Chain A
Amino acid sequence: MGDLLYNFTQWLYSTPLNQFAQSMSESALSLWIVERFWAIPIMQVTHILGIAGSFAAVLMLNMRVFNLAGHATLAETSARYTKVLWWSLAVIILSGGLMLFGDTVRNLLNSIFWIKMVLVVTAVLLALGFARGLRRQSAVNDRVSGGTKALAIFLVVLWCVIMLCGRWIAYAPS
Protein backbone atom coordinates (compact mmCIF):
# COMPACT_ATOMS: atom_id res chain seq x y z
CA MET A 1 0.00 0.00 0.00
CA GLY A 2 2.81 2.37 0.97
CA ASP A 3 4.60 1.63 -2.33
CA LEU A 4 1.42 2.27 -4.30
CA LEU A 5 0.89 5.64 -2.60
CA TYR A 6 4.57 6.52 -3.03
CA ASN A 7 4.48 5.69 -6.76
CA PHE A 8 1.27 7.70 -7.17
CA THR A 9 2.92 10.71 -5.48
CA GLN A 10 6.01 10.34 -7.69
CA TRP A 11 3.78 10.23 -10.76
CA LEU A 12 2.05 13.45 -9.60
CA TYR A 13 5.48 15.12 -9.48
CA SER A 14 6.02 14.16 -13.15
CA THR A 15 2.77 15.82 -14.32
CA PRO A 16 2.15 19.53 -15.14
CA LEU A 17 0.49 19.67 -11.70
CA ASN A 18 3.98 20.00 -10.23
CA GLN A 19 4.67 23.30 -12.02
CA PHE A 20 1.13 24.50 -11.24
CA ALA A 21 1.61 23.74 -7.52
CA GLN A 22 4.97 25.53 -7.48
CA SER A 23 3.53 28.66 -9.11
CA MET A 24 0.46 28.54 -6.83
CA SER A 25 2.74 28.40 -3.79
CA GLU A 26 4.33 31.68 -4.94
CA SER A 27 0.98 33.50 -5.24
CA ALA A 28 0.25 36.50 -3.02
CA LEU A 29 -2.43 34.61 -1.06
CA SER A 30 -0.14 31.66 -0.48
CA LEU A 31 2.70 33.89 0.76
CA TRP A 32 0.28 35.84 2.99
CA ILE A 33 -0.85 32.60 4.65
CA VAL A 34 2.64 31.15 5.01
CA GLU A 35 3.92 34.28 6.72
CA ARG A 36 1.26 34.10 9.45
CA PHE A 37 1.82 31.39 12.06
CA TRP A 38 -1.82 31.16 13.15
CA ALA A 39 -3.41 31.28 9.66
CA ILE A 40 -3.19 27.53 9.02
CA PRO A 41 -4.39 26.45 12.51
CA ILE A 42 -7.39 28.83 12.23
CA MET A 43 -8.28 27.44 8.79
CA GLN A 44 -7.90 23.89 10.10
CA VAL A 45 -10.21 24.67 13.04
CA THR A 46 -12.80 26.07 10.59
CA HIS A 47 -12.37 22.96 8.42
CA ILE A 48 -12.87 20.69 11.45
CA LEU A 49 -16.04 22.58 12.42
CA GLY A 50 -17.38 22.13 8.87
CA ILE A 51 -16.62 18.41 9.04
CA ALA A 52 -18.31 18.26 12.47
CA GLY A 53 -21.48 19.77 10.97
CA SER A 54 -21.49 17.45 7.95
CA PHE A 55 -20.76 14.32 9.94
CA ALA A 56 -23.33 15.16 12.62
CA ALA A 57 -25.97 15.72 9.90
CA VAL A 58 -25.15 12.35 8.29
CA LEU A 59 -25.27 10.63 11.69
CA MET A 60 -28.63 12.19 12.59
CA LEU A 61 -30.08 11.11 9.24
CA ASN A 62 -28.83 7.61 10.01
CA MET A 63 -30.45 7.68 13.43
CA ARG A 64 -33.81 8.53 11.84
CA VAL A 65 -33.42 5.97 9.05
CA PHE A 66 -32.87 3.25 11.66
CA ASN A 67 -35.69 4.60 13.87
CA LEU A 68 -33.28 5.47 16.67
CA ALA A 69 -34.24 9.13 16.84
CA GLY A 70 -37.18 11.46 16.51
CA HIS A 71 -40.73 11.06 15.37
CA ALA A 72 -40.59 13.50 12.46
CA THR A 73 -41.29 12.21 8.96
CA LEU A 74 -38.42 11.24 6.70
CA ALA A 75 -39.06 14.34 4.58
CA GLU A 76 -38.91 16.67 7.63
CA THR A 77 -35.77 15.00 8.96
CA SER A 78 -34.15 15.06 5.54
CA ALA A 79 -34.99 18.76 5.05
CA ARG A 80 -33.63 19.63 8.52
CA TYR A 81 -30.29 17.87 8.22
CA THR A 82 -29.56 18.32 4.52
CA LYS A 83 -29.63 22.08 5.22
CA VAL A 84 -26.99 21.56 7.93
CA LEU A 85 -25.06 19.32 5.53
CA TRP A 86 -24.95 21.88 2.68
CA TRP A 87 -23.93 24.78 4.94
CA SER A 88 -21.21 22.63 6.48
CA LEU A 89 -19.98 21.56 3.05
CA ALA A 90 -19.72 25.22 2.05
CA VAL A 91 -17.50 25.81 5.12
CA ILE A 92 -15.41 22.73 4.25
CA ILE A 93 -14.88 23.87 0.65
CA LEU A 94 -13.99 27.46 1.62
CA SER A 95 -11.59 26.52 4.43
CA GLY A 96 -10.18 23.61 2.42
CA GLY A 97 -9.53 25.91 -0.54
CA LEU A 98 -7.65 28.36 1.67
CA MET A 99 -5.68 25.53 3.29
CA LEU A 100 -4.65 24.45 -0.20
CA PHE A 101 -3.00 27.84 -0.69
CA GLY A 102 -1.31 27.52 2.70
CA ASP A 103 0.49 24.29 1.85
CA THR A 104 0.12 23.91 -1.92
CA VAL A 105 2.92 21.51 -2.78
CA ARG A 106 2.33 19.13 0.12
CA ASN A 107 -1.38 18.90 -0.76
CA LEU A 108 -1.55 18.98 -4.55
CA LEU A 109 1.36 16.58 -4.97
CA ASN A 110 0.05 14.14 -2.40
CA SER A 111 -1.57 10.81 -3.30
CA ILE A 112 -3.80 10.75 -0.19
CA PHE A 113 -5.05 14.30 -0.90
CA TRP A 114 -6.38 13.19 -4.31
CA ILE A 115 -7.94 10.05 -2.85
CA LYS A 116 -9.67 12.31 -0.32
CA MET A 117 -10.93 14.62 -3.10
CA VAL A 118 -12.43 11.70 -5.04
CA LEU A 119 -14.10 10.43 -1.85
CA VAL A 120 -15.50 13.89 -1.00
CA VAL A 121 -17.08 14.25 -4.47
CA THR A 122 -18.47 10.70 -4.12
CA ALA A 123 -19.88 11.53 -0.66
CA VAL A 124 -21.58 14.70 -1.95
CA LEU A 125 -23.15 12.88 -4.92
CA LEU A 126 -24.31 10.01 -2.72
CA ALA A 127 -25.70 12.47 -0.14
CA LEU A 128 -27.74 14.13 -2.89
CA GLY A 129 -29.15 10.76 -3.95
CA PHE A 130 -29.72 9.78 -0.32
CA ALA A 131 -31.68 12.95 0.49
CA ARG A 132 -33.76 12.59 -2.68
CA GLY A 133 -34.44 8.93 -1.81
CA LEU A 134 -35.64 9.87 1.68
CA ARG A 135 -38.01 12.52 0.31
CA ARG A 136 -39.40 10.07 -2.25
CA GLN A 137 -39.94 7.32 0.32
CA SER A 138 -41.54 9.80 2.69
CA ALA A 139 -44.06 10.73 0.02
CA VAL A 140 -44.99 7.05 -0.49
CA ASN A 141 -45.26 5.46 2.98
CA ASP A 142 -42.50 6.92 5.20
CA ARG A 143 -40.73 3.56 5.23
CA VAL A 144 -37.06 3.15 4.44
CA SER A 145 -35.91 0.60 1.88
CA GLY A 146 -32.99 -1.75 2.45
CA GLY A 147 -30.99 0.10 -0.20
CA THR A 148 -31.43 3.44 1.57
CA LYS A 149 -30.38 1.88 4.89
CA ALA A 150 -27.25 0.44 3.24
CA LEU A 151 -26.49 3.83 1.68
CA ALA A 152 -26.93 5.51 5.08
CA ILE A 153 -24.31 3.24 6.66
CA PHE A 154 -22.03 3.59 3.62
CA LEU A 155 -22.13 7.40 3.95
CA VAL A 156 -20.98 7.21 7.58
CA VAL A 157 -18.13 4.87 6.63
CA LEU A 158 -17.24 7.12 3.69
CA TRP A 159 -17.02 10.20 5.94
CA CYS A 160 -14.81 8.27 8.37
CA VAL A 161 -12.46 7.32 5.50
CA ILE A 162 -12.45 10.98 4.33
CA MET A 163 -11.40 12.06 7.83
CA LEU A 164 -8.79 9.30 7.88
CA CYS A 165 -7.39 10.59 4.57
CA GLY A 166 -7.43 14.17 5.90
CA ARG A 167 -5.33 13.13 8.89
CA TRP A 168 -2.97 10.92 6.88
CA ILE A 169 -2.13 13.55 4.22
CA ALA A 170 0.58 14.62 6.67
CA TYR A 171 1.97 11.06 6.80
CA ALA A 172 1.80 10.22 3.06
CA PRO A 173 5.01 8.74 1.65
CA SER A 174 6.70 11.21 -0.72
Chain B
Amino acid sequence: MYPEPTNLWERIEYSTLGTTIAESTWMFPALETAHVIALVTVIGTIALVDLRLVGVKGHALRVSQLAKDTLPLTWGAFALAALTGGLLFCSKASSYMINPWFLGKMALLALAGLNMMYFHMTTWRTVEHWEQDPSFPTMAKVAGWLSLVFWLGVVFCGRAIGFTLGIFY
Protein backbone atom coordinates (compact mmCIF):
# COMPACT_ATOMS: atom_id res chain seq x y z
CA MET B 1 0.00 0.00 0.00
CA TYR B 2 1.39 3.37 -1.01
CA PRO B 3 1.01 6.55 1.10
CA GLU B 4 -1.13 9.46 -0.03
CA PRO B 5 0.87 11.51 -2.59
CA THR B 6 1.88 14.95 -1.36
CA ASN B 7 3.22 16.40 -4.63
CA LEU B 8 3.16 15.90 -8.40
CA TRP B 9 6.20 13.57 -8.45
CA GLU B 10 4.71 11.24 -5.82
CA ARG B 11 1.44 11.32 -7.72
CA ILE B 12 3.32 10.05 -10.82
CA GLU B 13 5.33 7.50 -8.81
CA TYR B 14 2.27 6.06 -7.05
CA SER B 15 0.18 5.97 -10.23
CA THR B 16 -0.83 2.62 -11.70
CA LEU B 17 1.83 3.02 -14.42
CA GLY B 18 4.58 3.97 -11.95
CA THR B 19 3.88 1.19 -9.48
CA THR B 20 3.43 -1.42 -12.23
CA ILE B 21 6.93 -0.68 -13.57
CA ALA B 22 8.49 -0.44 -10.09
CA GLU B 23 6.94 -3.71 -8.87
CA SER B 24 7.66 -5.74 -12.00
CA THR B 25 10.79 -7.90 -11.94
CA TRP B 26 11.49 -7.41 -15.65
CA MET B 27 9.94 -4.11 -16.77
CA PHE B 28 12.58 -1.74 -15.35
CA PRO B 29 15.60 -3.64 -16.79
CA ALA B 30 13.76 -4.13 -20.10
CA LEU B 31 13.01 -0.40 -20.34
CA GLU B 32 16.62 0.38 -19.34
CA THR B 33 17.87 -1.86 -22.17
CA ALA B 34 15.63 -0.14 -24.74
CA HIS B 35 16.69 3.25 -23.33
CA VAL B 36 20.40 2.35 -23.71
CA ILE B 37 19.91 1.08 -27.28
CA ALA B 38 18.04 4.27 -28.21
CA LEU B 39 20.56 6.54 -26.48
CA VAL B 40 23.63 4.95 -28.12
CA THR B 41 21.90 5.37 -31.50
CA VAL B 42 21.22 9.06 -30.80
CA ILE B 43 24.76 9.70 -29.57
CA GLY B 44 26.49 7.61 -32.23
CA THR B 45 24.68 9.24 -35.14
CA ILE B 46 25.00 12.77 -33.71
CA ALA B 47 28.73 12.20 -33.06
CA LEU B 48 29.26 11.22 -36.72
CA VAL B 49 28.02 14.67 -37.77
CA ASP B 50 29.71 16.53 -34.88
CA LEU B 51 33.11 14.92 -35.58
CA ARG B 52 32.76 15.97 -39.21
CA LEU B 53 31.96 19.55 -38.11
CA VAL B 54 34.99 19.80 -35.82
CA GLY B 55 37.30 18.68 -38.60
CA VAL B 56 37.69 14.90 -38.39
CA LYS B 57 37.68 14.16 -42.11
CA GLY B 58 38.44 10.55 -42.99
CA HIS B 59 36.04 10.70 -45.92
CA ALA B 60 34.79 13.00 -48.64
CA LEU B 61 31.08 12.80 -47.87
CA ARG B 62 29.41 16.23 -47.68
CA VAL B 63 28.32 17.16 -44.17
CA SER B 64 24.83 18.08 -45.42
CA GLN B 65 24.47 14.59 -46.95
CA LEU B 66 25.80 12.97 -43.77
CA ALA B 67 23.29 14.95 -41.67
CA LYS B 68 20.47 13.95 -44.05
CA ASP B 69 21.50 10.29 -43.81
CA THR B 70 21.71 10.21 -40.03
CA LEU B 71 18.68 12.37 -39.23
CA PRO B 72 15.92 9.69 -39.47
CA LEU B 73 17.91 7.39 -37.17
CA THR B 74 18.67 10.19 -34.71
CA TRP B 75 15.06 11.38 -34.40
CA GLY B 76 13.58 7.87 -34.36
CA ALA B 77 15.97 6.82 -31.62
CA PHE B 78 15.41 10.07 -29.71
CA ALA B 79 11.66 9.41 -29.67
CA LEU B 80 12.29 5.90 -28.28
CA ALA B 81 14.77 7.25 -25.69
CA ALA B 82 12.25 9.89 -24.56
CA LEU B 83 9.44 7.31 -24.29
CA THR B 84 11.51 4.73 -22.37
CA GLY B 85 13.12 7.46 -20.26
CA GLY B 86 9.68 8.80 -19.38
CA LEU B 87 8.50 5.36 -18.31
CA LEU B 88 11.64 4.81 -16.20
CA PHE B 89 11.04 8.21 -14.60
CA CYS B 90 7.45 7.27 -13.67
CA SER B 91 8.67 4.35 -11.54
CA LYS B 92 10.84 6.52 -9.23
CA ALA B 93 9.77 10.09 -10.05
CA SER B 94 10.34 11.61 -6.60
CA SER B 95 13.83 10.03 -6.29
CA TYR B 96 14.81 11.31 -9.74
CA MET B 97 13.56 14.82 -9.02
CA ILE B 98 15.90 15.26 -6.03
CA ASN B 99 18.89 13.64 -7.77
CA PRO B 100 21.30 16.36 -9.01
CA TRP B 101 22.66 14.06 -11.75
CA PHE B 102 19.18 13.58 -13.18
CA LEU B 103 18.55 17.33 -13.11
CA GLY B 104 21.99 17.85 -14.70
CA LYS B 105 21.13 15.35 -17.44
CA MET B 106 17.90 17.19 -18.21
CA ALA B 107 19.73 20.54 -18.27
CA LEU B 108 22.41 19.17 -20.63
CA LEU B 109 19.71 17.71 -22.90
CA ALA B 110 18.10 21.16 -23.06
CA LEU B 111 21.48 22.78 -23.82
CA ALA B 112 22.19 20.21 -26.57
CA GLY B 113 18.79 21.00 -28.08
CA LEU B 114 19.33 24.77 -27.89
CA ASN B 115 22.80 24.43 -29.42
CA MET B 116 21.38 22.39 -32.31
CA MET B 117 18.50 24.84 -32.84
CA TYR B 118 20.79 27.90 -32.83
CA PHE B 119 23.26 26.23 -35.21
CA HIS B 120 20.50 25.22 -37.63
CA MET B 121 18.97 28.71 -37.59
CA THR B 122 22.33 30.42 -38.23
CA THR B 123 25.50 28.80 -39.66
CA TRP B 124 23.77 25.72 -41.12
CA ARG B 125 21.56 27.90 -43.41
CA THR B 126 24.60 28.58 -45.59
CA VAL B 127 26.07 25.06 -45.46
CA GLU B 128 26.22 24.74 -49.30
CA HIS B 129 28.62 27.68 -49.35
CA TRP B 130 31.17 26.29 -46.89
CA GLU B 131 30.84 22.50 -46.78
CA GLN B 132 33.36 22.03 -49.61
CA ASP B 133 35.91 24.43 -48.08
CA PRO B 134 39.10 22.90 -46.63
CA SER B 135 38.11 24.20 -43.19
CA PHE B 136 34.62 24.80 -41.80
CA PRO B 137 33.56 28.16 -40.20
CA THR B 138 34.48 28.63 -36.56
CA MET B 139 30.81 28.65 -35.52
CA ALA B 140 30.31 25.24 -37.12
CA LYS B 141 33.28 23.88 -35.18
CA VAL B 142 32.04 25.47 -31.95
CA ALA B 143 28.58 23.94 -32.45
CA GLY B 144 30.19 20.53 -33.09
CA TRP B 145 32.40 20.69 -29.98
CA LEU B 146 29.54 21.95 -27.79
CA SER B 147 27.30 19.15 -29.03
CA LEU B 148 29.98 16.53 -28.28
CA VAL B 149 30.53 17.94 -24.77
CA PHE B 150 26.80 18.19 -23.99
CA TRP B 151 26.08 14.63 -25.14
CA LEU B 152 29.11 13.28 -23.28
CA GLY B 153 27.69 15.03 -20.21
CA VAL B 154 24.28 13.44 -20.83
CA VAL B 155 25.84 9.95 -20.86
CA PHE B 156 27.95 10.69 -17.77
CA CYS B 157 24.99 12.04 -15.80
CA GLY B 158 22.86 9.12 -16.95
CA ARG B 159 25.41 6.66 -15.59
CA ALA B 160 25.91 8.69 -12.41
CA ILE B 161 22.15 8.49 -11.73
CA GLY B 162 22.48 4.70 -11.49
CA PHE B 163 25.18 5.03 -8.86
CA THR B 164 23.50 7.74 -6.77
CA LEU B 165 19.73 7.19 -7.02
CA GLY B 166 18.22 7.01 -3.55
CA ILE B 167 21.18 8.47 -1.63
CA PHE B 168 19.86 12.03 -1.64
CA TYR B 169 17.01 11.41 0.82
Contact = CB atoms under 8 A, between A and B. Distances in A.
A117 interface: no
Interface residues of A, number: 36
Interface stretch (A26-34, A69-77, A146-154): A69-77
Contacts of B73: 56, 59-60, 63
Given A59-B73, A72-B61, A167-B32, A52 B40 contact: yes
Given A45-B156, A63-B73, A168-B33, A80 B61 contact: yes
Nearest to A76: B59
A84 interface: yes
A164 B33 contact: yes
Contact of A63 (B39, B44, B69): B69
B160 interface: yes
Contact of A167 (B29, B41, B48, B65): B29
B58 A49 contact: no
Interface residues of B, number: 30
A60 B73 CA distance: 9
A25 interface: no
B59 to A, nearest CB: 4
Contacts of A80: 58-59, 61
Contacts, number: 92
Interface of A: 37, 40-42, 44-45, 48-49, 51-57, 59-60, 63, 68-72, 76, 79-80, 83-84, 160, 163-164, 166-168, 170-171
17 contacts: A40-B163, A41-B156, A41-B159, A45-B159, A52-B40, A56-B41, A56-B43, A59-B44, A60-B45, A68-B72, A69-B68, A70-B69, A80-B59, A80-B61, A163-B37, A166-B36, A167-B36
